[in-house]
Structure 1
C-alpha cells in the first residue's frame, strides 16, 4: 500500500471538488480535527463539511513535504484559493494523518499558519 499516493489522492479529490472521492478516502468512522470546528466524525459529518460548511469555495494545495512513517503521514504545504465570501487566500498548512489497515484515513489533524480557512 502506497500511503504517499493515497495521501496525494486526497488533495486531488478535494481540489477538484470531488466530495465522494474525499469521503472514500476517509474510513467510515474517520475523524477530522480542524481549527474552528468541532471534530467531524463519520460520513454524514464529513459530507456536511465538504459539501457546504467548509469556508473554502475553491482552490489548490501545493505539497512541499510529505513524510510517511508506518501507517501515518505528515504533510506541509500551501493552500491558495477563494473563500465562499470571495476573499482570496494563501495559507500554509500541515496535516497529520493516521491510516487504517485498508489505507483509509481514520484520523486527520489540520493546522494553519493563519486563522483564515
Structure 2
C-alpha cells in the first residue's frame, strides 16, 4: 500500500487508478460520495486532486491481512486525520472506504 499512497502524493491519476479493480467501489463516508467502477473512481480521484492539489499523505499505520486492509493517515498540509479500510482482489483495490474528521485535533 506504500506505493498506492506514493501515487496519491505525486497526484498521479494513472498510477492511482492502476491500483483499482475494474469494478472497484470507492466510498468517501463523511461526504456520502460513492464511486462505482473504474471510470467513476477515476473521476473521484481527479476531483480530489483538484480540490487539494498539494496534498500528501503521511501513513501512520497500516495493516494488510489477506484480502483486507486498513490504513491510518494524515493528509498534509491540512493535518486532516483519517483512515481507509477495504478489500483487495488479485493485488487490486476492490473496495475502499475513507473515514476522516475535518475538526481540529484537541490536545
Q: Tell me if TM exceeds 0.5.
A: yes
- When the two chains are superposed, the root-mean-square deviation of aligned CA atoms in Å is 1.6
Per the alignment, residue 106 of structure 1 pairs with: 94
Per the alignment, residue 62 of structure 1 pairs with: 58
Question: Is 2:27 aligned against 1:39?
Answer: no
Per the alignment, residue 93 of structure 1 pairs with: 82
Q: Output the CA distance in 2 between the equivalents of 1:62 and 1:48.
A: 23
Q: Output the CA distance in 1 between the equivalents of 2:2 and 2:81.
A: 17
What do residues 83-115 of structure 1 show as CA deviations (whole Å, max 9, x unaligned)? xxxxxx111110102001x11000000011226
Q: CA deviation at 1:37?
A: 4.1
TM-score norm. by structure 2 comes to: 0.85
Q: Output the CA distance in 1 between the equivalents of 2:8 and 2:73.
A: 15
Q: Output the CA distance in 2 between the equivalents of 1:113 and 1:76.
A: 12
Per the alignment, residue 30 of structure 1 pairs with: 24
What do residues 39-73 of structure 1 show as CA deviations (whole Å, max 9, x unaligned)? 1011211121222x222222111111111222111
8 Å contact kept, 2:58–2:75: yes
Q: 1:18 aligns with which of 9, 12, 16?
A: 12
8 Å contact kept, 2:11–2:53: no
Cα distance change on mapping 1:115 and 1:108 into 2, 3 Å? farther
TM-score norm. by structure 1 comes to: 0.79
